[in-house]
Amino acid sequence: MASKVLHAIYQDDDLLLQAVKQIREARYHIGEIYCPFPVHGLDKAMGLAPTRLAITAFLYGLVGLSVAVAMMNFIMIEDWPQDIGGKPSFSFLQNMPAFVPIMFELTVFFAAHLMVITFYMRSRLWPFKKAENPDVRTTDDLFLMEVDAANHNIDDLTRFLYDTGASEIRLIDNK
Amino acid sequence: MYTLSSKIKLAAIICMVVGAIGLVYGFIAAPDTVEDVEAMMASEHHGEEHATEETHEVNVEQIPGGNTEVDNIEHTEDNEAHATAADHAEAGHGEEASHDAEHMEHILHQLQNKPWAALYVAAFFFFMISLGVLAFYAIQYAAQAGWSPVLFRVMEAITAYVLPGGLIVFVILVLSGLHLNHLFVWMDPEVVAHDEIIQNKTAYLNVPFFLIRAAIYLGGWAFFRHLIVKNSRKMDDATDLSIFTKTFKLSAGFLVFFIVTESMMSWDWIMSLDPHWFSTLFGWFVFASMFVSGITTIAIISIYLKSRGYLEFVNNSHIHDLAKFMFGISIFWTYLWFSQFMLIWYSNIPEEVVYFIQRMNDYPLLFWGMIITNFLFPVLLLMNSDYKRVNWFVVMTGIVILCGHYINVYVLVMPATVGESWFIGVPEISAVLLFGGLFSFIVFNALTKAPLLVKGNPYLKESKHYHY
């Protein structure tokens, strides 16, 4: 037997936030929420874990810095230490100020791009991806909340959602 | 209302007294004559320089005529005029003795400058903090910031030091102008007489114009500070927004005045210590240093007052914002520091690069250590958003930042005034204690003058509920 979910549609974000709090208090399980724009505080209300994207960006930045240092050290100091305009290419530290712009840029480059790619991978976003959109109106002006029916009484759950201010409630077979 | 705790008062007074005693000792201990310097050097490096001392004595004995050495010392007063080729030809050995005496004379000037320079660095450092806070305060008004009005009274109290602190700096400048010290080499007419580069700058670098300019900067800053703070007090009983609008315009005007005068102030008070050297982004560099020290001081004092239960409307989001500023402006300072250093290092033009060569050779620990205290430490500790809300983290980083920017001012001033004879000893620490005590006394005393929460500011409610 396929599990069922209820799609409750809300008209505005204040109502939605209030409903999320009530539903969580009543111990129903919220699946997804679809919004046309970021609702401030929704993740906190839903109890989602904070993102670790910033931590990955820091680590990627360190990778970029290491790449820059290793590259400049190999090319300019170890492989072919030429005298270019009198710059001291005897050791990395002696010529370091000249490498700082590259070290900085590569740090930023790695941190930014790898973090964005991480974001795409974690959010499963890519070109030609089939949009997962239960109701086209959620991209314009409506807020849709998916609530697991699980083994709750459907009628009770529907009434409860209606009381939280949902303007439309639909029972859907979850594929 | 805040009441000045007797502990702070006592600590400030003890700091001032100990600092004053230490400074007086510093001035007394500074050598008066070349003989003092020789005695000091002999006792300091007895083992190492034994050999050179012996040859020196031999040389003196070999000089024909007993008075030659004394003559040479007198000649070095204006050595370029008198130490002519004829002199050298007359006494072949006298040349070496003359060189040695010249060196001793040089060290003497540096050691005599030491307590003065220590006084100047500390006086400027604490003045710069309050000036940086004044700029930050004006920016908050001009930008109509919604988070900061609950911190306005703390900022106002810190800017109370602008006038007294500025006057002290001004007095030191006047004393330099009266030739009581050799901090500014271009103020010495004998040096200027033999220095064409400085001669060409005398239209700008002359004592009367220098003091007039200083008076204009200080007067302007103190005047704007007085008006803005007076308006802020008046706003407490205001019924409409007219005073706020006026303060907004006043702050915008102040910022225009400030950025011009601050830039010129940094040329006058700091860059002119090395009158042969110039840098175009110097004004910004000094500004970044004062700005980040000022913001750090706001954060530390706010956290202190909050821990004593005086700022119940300040939450950790406000601290988070201040810590973000500390983090960002620290990076800004480093950016300017590096831009100035790297451009000069890269092109390596002799007349510019001596500035950094002197600092790298004579002050290696401080010069490179600044990068750790002013950049690496705040960047790594304040990068995490959660850490910016942890009070002891912010205070600890703040103390390191303040020490780092004291060292920054130290490395700006000292190489030109005391050169390789620098040491962070009794006069330096005493001067910091003296001005640190004075600064905290004036700031905490100013906190008692008005309620710690402003009223009538249109952004007050937003600021009280500020949450990030």
What ipTM does the predicted assembly reach? 0.90
Q: Does A58 touch chain B (CB under 8 A)?
A: yes
Residue B67 pLDDT class (50, 70, 90 cuts): very low
Q: Could you identify the residue written with the tokens 């914002």?
A: B321
Q: What is the pLDDT of residue B306?
A: 94
The distance of B342 to chain A (nearest Cα, Å) reads 6
A-proximal residues of B, 325-354, CB under 8 Å: 338, 341-342, 345-346, 348
Contact B132, B284 (CB under 8 A): no
The distance of B343 to chain A (nearest Cα, Å) reads 9
Q: Does B383 touch chain A (CB under 8 A)?
A: yes
Strand order in the sheet with A4-10: A30-34, A143-148, A4-10, A168-173
pLDDT at B361 over 70: yes
pLDDT at B53 over 60: no
Q: Does A104 touch chain B (CB under 8 A)?
A: no
A-chain residues within 8 Å CB-CB of B346? 97-98
Q: What is the pLDDT of residue A174?
A: 74
Q: What is the pLDDT of residue B65?
A: 41
pLDDT at B66 over 90: no
In the predicted model, what is the mean pLDDT of residues B311-315? Answer: 91
In the predicted model, what is the mean pLDDT of residues B177-195? Answer: 91
Q: Does A100 touch chain B (CB under 8 A)?
A: yes
Q: For an interface test with A, which of B327, B336, B338 has the most A Cβ atoms less than 10 Å from its Cβ? A: B338
Q: Does B372 touch chain A (CB under 8 A)?
A: no
CA-based end-to-end distance of chain A:
11
Cα-based torsion angle of the residue sequence B309, B313, B316, B317 in order, rounded to the nearest 10 degrees: -160
* Closest residue on chain A to B380 (Cα): A58
Residue A175 pLDDT class (50, 70, 90 cuts): low
In the predicted model, what is the mean pLDDT of residues A112-136? Answer: 94
Enclosing H/E stretch for A6: strand A4-10
In tens, the pLDDT along B146-165 reads 999 999 999 999 999 999 99
B-chain residues within 8 Å CB-CB of A58? 383
Beta-carbon contacts of residue A44 (< 8 Å; ≥ 6 apart): none
* Closest residue on chain B to A84 (Cα): B346
Sort B43 into a burial class: Cβ within 10 Å, 0-12 / 13-18 / 19+. exposed
In tens, the pLDDT along B403-462 reads 999 999 999 999 999 988 899 999 999 999 999 999 999 999 999 999 999 998 999 999
pLDDT at B302 over 90: yes
Q: Could you identify the residue written with the tokens 């820059």?
A: A68
| 0.90 surpassed by pTM | no
pLDDT at B56 over 50: no
Q: Does A57 touch chain B (CB under 8 A)?
A: no
Looking at residue A76, the DSSP 8-state letter turns out to be: I
Which of A139-143, B82-86, B122-126, B282-286 bottoms out in mean pLDDT, i.e. has the lowest? B82-86
Q: Could you identify the residue written with the tokens 């919604």?
A: B146
Which of B103-117, B207-221, B223-237, B339-353 bottoms out in mean pLDDT, i.e. has the lowest? B103-117
In tens, the pLDDT along B370-397 reads 999 999 999 999 999 999 999 999 999 9
Q: What is the pLDDT of residue B222?
A: 96
Beta-carbon contacts of residue B323 (< 8 Å; ≥ 6 apart): B299, B382, B387, B388, B389, B394, B397
The percentage of chain A sitting over the pLDDT mark of 90, rounded to a whole number, equals: 81
Residue B279 pLDDT class (50, 70, 90 cuts): very high
CB contact under 8 A, A98 and B338: no
Q: What is the pLDDT of residue B72?
A: 43
In tens, the pLDDT along A54-105 reads 999 999 999 999 999 999 999 999 999 999 999 999 999 999 999 999 999 9
In tens, the pLDDT along B131-147 reads 999 999 999 999 999 99
Longest dimension (CA), chain B: 89
The C-alpha atoms of residue A48 and residue A37 are separated, in whole angstroms, by 17
CB contact under 8 A, B348 and A86: yes
Neighbours of B343 (CB within 10 A): 15
Identity of the residue in A54, A58, A100 whose CB atom sits nearest the CB atom of B342: A100
Q: Does A38 touch chain B (CB under 8 A)?
A: no
Q: What is the pLDDT of residue B210?
A: 96
Structure tokens at A119: 């974001």
Q: What is the pLDDT of residue B93?
A: 54
Q: What is the pLDDT of residue B44?
A: 67
Looking at residue A92, the DSSP 8-state letter turns out to be: T
The percentage of chain B sitting over the pLDDT mark of 90, rounded to a whole number, equals: 75
CB contact under 8 A, B342 and A58: no
Ramachandran category for residue B205: left, alpha or beta (phi over 0 → left; psi -120 to 50 → alpha): beta
B-chain residues within 8 Å CB-CB of A97? 338, 341-342, 345-346
Q: What is the pLDDT of residue A74?
A: 97
Q: Does A97 touch chain B (CB under 8 A)?
A: yes
User: Rounded mean pLDDT of chain B?
Assistant: 88
Q: Does A15 touch chain B (CB under 8 A)?
A: no
In the predicted model, what is the mean pLDDT of residues B161-180? Answer: 95
pLDDT at A34 over 80: yes
Q: Does B357 touch chain A (CB under 8 A)?
A: no
In the predicted model, what is the mean pLDDT of residues B67-96? Answer: 44
